Amino acid sequence: MLLEASKHAAHADSQDGEALVSAARDGHTDIVQLLLYAPQHAARADCQDGRALVNAASNGHTDIVRLLLEAPEHAARANCLDGQALVNAASNGHTDFVRLLEAAPEHAAHADCQEC
């Protein structure tokens, strides 16, 4: 596996986490988990200002939203990109995500997007 190779291992955080953003968008939960928990150079859940969270919320990927919000380090902020994840979740009818984002332990999304 590329992430487990020794000396010349691929970095899970390469290209500012583009692999994480793409996997989150496309609903690849196991890949998101591998990237977040890579033994070295793990992807940051908050890379690209939280675009992975916005993508997952927009496309209805519940498990990925939870993984990103609960990442052990550099968790995604529920109010990233001025609350775009909340806007996308609401406009796509993802009630569960709206609740998750508003109840996030830190940096909860605000319904009025104030102080985001």
More confident call, 75 vs 28: 28
Which pLDDT score, from 0 to 100, does residue 81 have?
Answer: 76
What's residue 25's pLDDT? 92
For residue 32, which amino acid is it?
Answer: V
For position 27, what pLDDT does the model report?
95
Cα gap 81→65, rounded to integer Å? 15
The residue-averaged pLDDT of 76-97 equals 82
Q: Grade residue 26 by pLDDT with cuts at 50, 70 and 90.
A: very high
pLDDT exceeds cutoff 50 at 3? no
What average pLDDT does the segment 11-29 reach?
A: 78
Tokens standing for residue 7: 């000396």
